[in-house]
Structure 1
Amino acid sequence: MIRLLVPALMLAAAPAAPGADHLPDDPVLRLLMAGDAARATGNGALLLDSAQQLKLLGAQPAEGQEDLAAVWTREAGAHGRTEPAFAFRGRALGPAYRKGSLDAGGSVTMRQLFLAGQRAQISLAPSGHAPRLSIRVQDAEGSTLCAKAVGGPQADCAWLPLFTDRYDIVIANGGPEPVAFYLIVR
């Protein structure tokens, strides 16, 4: 009987995430979406929890992007939630995240340096319904390493660079409506 109650209690105690069936597999992408949902509903506890977990995973904003963990922590404080007394310390290198949006038919290209011999991975998730969002990765010579449409909650491209080099990450919205997205670069 106890064996049956413990998993049931754990499920009941877990914070509810809106549309959990349609969230991406990547933990950083899931946190970005949970934080946005908490922000939209004014849930200070979930907002602070999302900020702390983002810090623990070592996720950092991409250059020119706002630090969502810091913003969410401040906003949670405005809702009466404060951080615990102990400090969280992230890893020296971790995933970088970017939140962006594209107009209908629009695209954006970003250049990113990846190190030789270290696994490179890029994950893209739409924030909402985006039937024609796609991602493409090209090397310095213009050869396509990965090209995928986002057919579910997220699309991933992964490879092992043979040489340290810059790669183009192209995100395109072939749909008739604007779309918001999250991008994780590891």
Structure 2
Amino acid sequence: MLEKLVDYIYLLHKWNATYNLTALKNPGDMLTHHVLDSLSVVPFLVKSRNILDVGSGGGLPGLVLAIVYPEKHVSMVDIVQKKTAFLNQARIELGLDNVTVHTGRVEKLQVEKKFDAIISRAFSSLPDFVGLSGHLLDRNGRFYAMKGLIPSDEISNLPSGWKVERIDVLNVPSLDAQRHLIVIGPESVIIDNCG
């Protein structure tokens, strides 16, 4: 697992020179700001079996989750073809048989089996994240949005039918920045049978 994470950083650094996958150029910064940041959500997805990473870019957190959880299926979607070309190449070179890569807009993505966890890292606002990918979430699934500061305005503008279930602080070693995981689920429907 550690070897694959190191190999992933090597691939990201190598491809970044041509494909501009991340603003970070130093592999040490990629380790801290990308890989360790992505690893911080691992404990929250223990029970998930079928995960979608929306706006995966260079594979964060999708490829990291696929490496750590080889028994889970991880799908990634990005609109930028050069980024999904990298994701496919990384999938092959790292031997990740549990990964599927989609090129295109998440709102147009159709799948046979819906996801029990849909995650994003710097994809969009919470309302857009939920609105664009809600059709892909299983009935008992949850959204996981990786954010810096708590986005109170975005939370208050969630589409109807959705609510923030909890906000967890993410602790990222060697990263001096606030990181939070916003967990979003469906609002409970209360049926009044009294009249």
Is the shorter-chain TM-score for this pair beyond 0.5, marking a shared fold?
no
TM-score interval, smaller chain: 0.3 to 0.5
TM-score, length basis structure 2: 0.37
Larger radius of gyration between Structure 1 and Structure 2: 1
Going by fraction, where is helix more abundant, 1 or 2?
2
User: Which structure is higher in strand share?
Assistant: 1
Q: Which of structures 1 and 2 has the larger relative contact order (alpha carbons within 8 angstroms, sep 6+)?
A: 1
